[in-house]
Amino acid sequence: MRSKTLPHLVFAWLAIIFLSTSNMIPVSAVGYTPGVKGGDYVKYSDIGASWQSTVPGSQKPQSVTDFQNSNFFQIDISSVTGNNVTAKFQANFKNGTVTLRTFIGNVDSGQGNLTSGGVPLVAAGGLGAGDKVWNIPSSPTFNTTSSINYAGASREVNTWAFSFSSGGGYSSVTTVNIDKVTGVLLEYSTNNNSTAPQGTTTQSERIKVTETNLWSPTILGLAPLYFYGIIALVIGVVIVAVVLLARRTRKPSVPTAQTAPPNTVG
């Protein structure tokens, strides 16, 4: 595995979008501050990629091969200073190889490689539908906010979805889901299609968070401790009710009638 490919390992396919760093004038009253802290992490074990081509001589991209050979990706937040976040990115492969890279970025301006390729590993926390992903005029906007289950819990999720097409027969559809409270990337998926006289090529990649210490898994919206506590309480109440009902419906014993001894004649 060539370490020089790591900077583009996860987000190279997003090169069609570039973030302008000029005219960085705030465009929203929303506070663009980090929703994470040092020690937080997110792990992506749900990883998939596919590639097919009928173009003679075409070869599967390295990024697809890397995705298919990955065990998991993980982002560990090293530190947060003001609007700046420093994170360690780990790629763990099935052949035992582990590659590491440091990402540093500003969640307000979008500057830094934390937004590599135009999509943030970590965005500002507390944003919502209609807010800019970054606090600059050229930034895209979150389309919707909805509740989706991630890593065992229902989360409020900001979605940024976009598509691209060209007259040359190329098209792509991409969806980016960001956690509303913490700003971490929850899920990314893209599907690309290219049609040319020589043939057709399709390519897709996706990652989805499966583990984190930013929130705890829930059962029916409750923390496991509370859920099982309620279950135990309900079982206890049922047992007590059954015992009391059994006592109330138990029939009292009927005394046996005594037979008088026969009279004897003296």
Looking at residue 143, what is its pLDDT? Answer: 97
Looking at residue 98, what is its pLDDT? Answer: 97
Looking at residue 263, what is its pLDDT? Answer: 61
Looking at residue 167, what is its pLDDT? Answer: 81
Query: Exposed, middle or buried by CB within 10 Å (0-12, 13-18, 19+), for 260?
Result: exposed
Looking at residue 53, what is its pLDDT? Answer: 97
Looking at residue 31, what is its pLDDT? Answer: 87
- Answer for the pair 92, 67: CB distance below 8 angstroms, yes or no: no
Residue 185 neighbours by CB under 8 Å, 6+ apart: 42, 75, 119, 120, 121, 122, 123, 176, 177, 178, 179, 209
Looking at residue 168, what is its pLDDT? Answer: 83
Looking at residue 228, what is its pLDDT? Answer: 55
Listed as ranges, residues in the chain with pLDDT below 50 are 1-28, 222, 227, 266
The CA distances from residue 164 to 14, 117, 193, in Å, are: 11, 15, 10
Give the Cα separation of 144 and 213 in Å (integer). Answer: 25
Looking at residue 231, what is its pLDDT? Answer: 65
> What's the pTM value of the predicted model, to 2 decimals?
0.73
